[in-house]
Amino acid sequence: MDANGLMGATNAHRVTRGLIDCDVHPTPKSIDEIRFYMKQPWRDRYQGSGRSIFGNPIHWARLDAQPPGGSAIGSDPEFMREQLINEYGHDYAILLPRSFCNLQPDPDFGTAIAAAYNEWLADTWLGKYNHDGVFKGSITINHHDPHAAAKEIERWAGHPHFVQVMTDSGSRAPFGQRQYYPIYEACERYNLPFAIHPGTDGIGINELHSPGYPTHYIEWHTCISLGFQAHLVSFITEGVFEKFPNFKVVFVEGGVSWLPTLMWRLDQEYKALRFEVPWVKRMPSEYLRDHVRMCSQPLERPENDKYLLQIFEMMDAEHILMFSSDYPHWDFDSPTRSFPKLPEPMYQRVFFENARDFYNLSSEKGR
């Protein structure tokens, strides 16, 4: 351990006691891989996915993430095993493909993109690439068509390697509102957590949770957490966790340090305004441990680690934080270098047990 409390090479053996990475991004080798699973007219319309604005102006991925032979970054499962799975001793990697289907104004097109990504992921990363069982997947949905999204969840719910449902944080309304209930009913019915990942905030038909459009990527990327905060407050104040008592939410790649102060504020507001939301039966912060998990990347790490450890204590990180790396993206968090030294019980829960329990995974290594 160095002077700042980093878990360096001397502590690397700790990871082998269990590691689940809750944010790993596989990529198609080409858009033709996705087109293969589309019917007309969507096949000809589909020109690939991505953000047309607010893209990283320097490089979107790790500079060392290019597989040998020049294939697309994130598209080579054996290279990912070498650089991530074997390097750190992963038991499981939760895969979140980036379809960006929720920015489409045509809900049928968005749903077709989501369906194609699910079939591609099932055939490749969860199928022929998954001989060791280390890869677990996310069912992509288009939340702008909740009924179609529910059918897509039902279609894949019995698959042995799909462990959650995923969508973008970019939306036209806060996620607690009732138009999204068909999605949550399906998630609860099949015991699949609902994962929210940034990427289409303020893009396509989605609203921004900031007052207008930022000028630069750094501003947009820094303020991504605003959307996550709005969604969480909406889930609680709209009574989603009371209506769906077994519904679970995962906040992926939205930061974590904002959680304690947001909950303090909401708890304080609730004391005076609970008459407005009589369906909220508990203090807002009391819903977190039963219903919410936060993924660690990007971990906001100050110069002095003691402040981050205080945040972890205040947010109940031992029970609601799950490790994520965001591989292969530019702001990748290493399990051995990006965290301060944690107390042993917290370490075991953050890096392994919280995700194992939330996703109902086996304690045995995936491989």
103-149 pLDDT, tens digit per residue, is: 999 999 999 999 999 999 999 999 999 999 999 999 999 999 999 99
Binning pLDDT at 50, 70 and 90, where does residue 235 land? very high
| Interval 16-32 mean pLDDT | 92
Distances (CA, A) of 172 to 83, 112, 143, 200, 254: 37, 19, 10, 11, 18
How does pLDDT run across 319-328, given as a tens digit for each residue?
A: 999 999 999 9
Cα gap 50→63, rounded to integer Å = 19
Instruction: Report the pLDDT value the prediction gives residue 9, as an integer from 0 to 100.
Output: 35
- DSSP string of 34-98, one letter each residue: HHTT--TTHHHH------SSS--SS-SB-TT-PPTTSPPTT--HHHHIIIIIHHHT-SEEEE---
Binning pLDDT at 50, 70 and 90, where does residue 364 land? low
| Interval 85-103 mean pLDDT | 97
Binning pLDDT at 50, 70 and 90, where does residue 29 land? very high
Least confident of 179-188, 205-214, 300-309: 205-214
Binning pLDDT at 50, 70 and 90, where does residue 297 land? very high
Closest CA to 158 of 186, 124, 195, 125: 186
Containing 338, the helix (H) or strand (E) segment is none
The domain made up of 9-358 has a fold known as TIM Barrel (3.20.20)
